[in-house]
Amino acid sequence: MKKVMLSGGGTGGHIYPALSISKAIRQRFPDAEIGYIGTENGLEAKIVPKEEDIRFFAVEIQGFRRKLSLDNLQTVAKFLRAVRKCKKYIREFQPDVVVGTGGYVSGPSLYAAARMGIPTLILEPDVLPGLTTRFLSRYVDVVAISLSGSEQYLSKARRIIHTGNPRGTEVIHANGKKGRKSLGVQQADKPIVLIFGGSRGAKPLNDAVTEMIPRIREAHHLHFVYVTGEVHYEKVTANIKDENEDGIPHLTIRPFIYNMPDVLAGTSLVVGRAGASTLAELTALGIPSILVPSPYVTNNHQETNARWLEEQGAGCMILEKELNGGRLWEMIRAITDDPNRHREMSEAARKLGRPDAAEVIVDELDKLSRRKH
């Protein structure tokens, strides 16, 4: 396998799995050339060019509205123009295989590659496949699903394989001791409860945690790590200071955590959203979770993710509209105070994970590339 073209964008949940695949390709094929098709103004245009030796190709594309709209006519026109541009890029780069990791930019790149006879694979990170994956499933050679349960939505797919999410491959090598040290947690056996609402934070979670401060103050046997998000940090810390002037030694508050894999590797329980990357990390490491799915995402797919994890016995779900400090505290204590339940949830989570996801995908890409030749 000499050349691979990646495509995915819009959110980190689509971009970081692509970069994980890129790293795994380089480990197996050090001389491989890697290209990346992304949108001109998306998050991928900021992240991908910072990576070494990845050639970035930009296209203009937008997503479909889920309701009838004149904007969709413009979307179709942009899609067709993007397909033509992607064909030009593919002819120029000459990839052995084209890989998509989701987001609407994957649509024209994989569709173009399939029409040109280039082997194709798309990774679906969520339980409920997005519109792009459903559309492409009938054209691409392989749909790689991250979580079991996606098959029922992909009846027209040519071939489906369960690979897991490559994001899990990266966190499995993280250093939990290093993560605990960075938080100032001295006791090696003290359980860490990590609470975070994504890179920007989540106000409902922040409100619930602020409400729990009197209870957290008394829970000396636990260490709480509370990630507020940059936008909310000052307001949240001011509110908590009002609640507790002296500070709480077993509470660490951060606006953002840059070494999240190491911190996760040292964590006993996670409270957070239910995005695809989060689920990949939780299942790879076998971490029990309390998930509060964001109701603001496309097709409400986080609720589907959270409900699926709960059904497997690996996590619990609280809908945002039902979230409050009292209920969240009850769920935290129900898991942390019951070693048997914690162990069962951890084992259930680990059974769902595929820490070898990136390697499995590279194996499949190698097979596909050989078919081309």
DSSP-assigned letters across all residues of 252-313? EEES--TTHHHHHHT-SEEEE---HHHHHHHHHHT--EEE---TTSGGGHHHHHHHHHHHTT
Topology alike, domains 3-166+355-372 and 173-352: yes
Question: Which residues belong to the annotated binding site for UDP-N-acetyl-alpha-D-glucosamine?
Answer: 11-13, 199, 257, 302
Where does 3-166+355-372 sit in CATH, by number? 3.40.50.2000
Enumerate the known binding-site residues.
Answer: 11-13, 199, 257, 302
Chain CA centroid to CA 310, Å = 17
The C-alpha atoms of residue 10 and residue 63 are separated, in whole angstroms, by 10
Domain ranges of the chain: 3-166+355-372, 173-352
Residues in the chain: 373
- Amino acid 186: pLDDT: 82
What pTM does this model have? 0.85
Name the nearest CA neighbour of 13 among 120, 123, 108. Answer: 123
pLDDT score, position 73: 58
| CB of 331 closer than 8 Å to CB of 322 | no
Question: How many beta carbons lie within 10 A of that of residue 350, not counting itself?
Answer: 16
Question: What's the longest Cα–Cα distance across the chain?
Answer: 68
pLDDT value, residue 243: 55
For the chain, which residues score pLDDT lower than 50? 68
Measured between alpha carbons, how far is 26 from 135 in angstroms, rounded to an integer?
A: 30
Supply 290's token pair: 């309390």
If DSSP codes are grouped into helix, strand and coil, which group holds residue 199? coil
- Classify 173-352 by CATH class: alpha beta
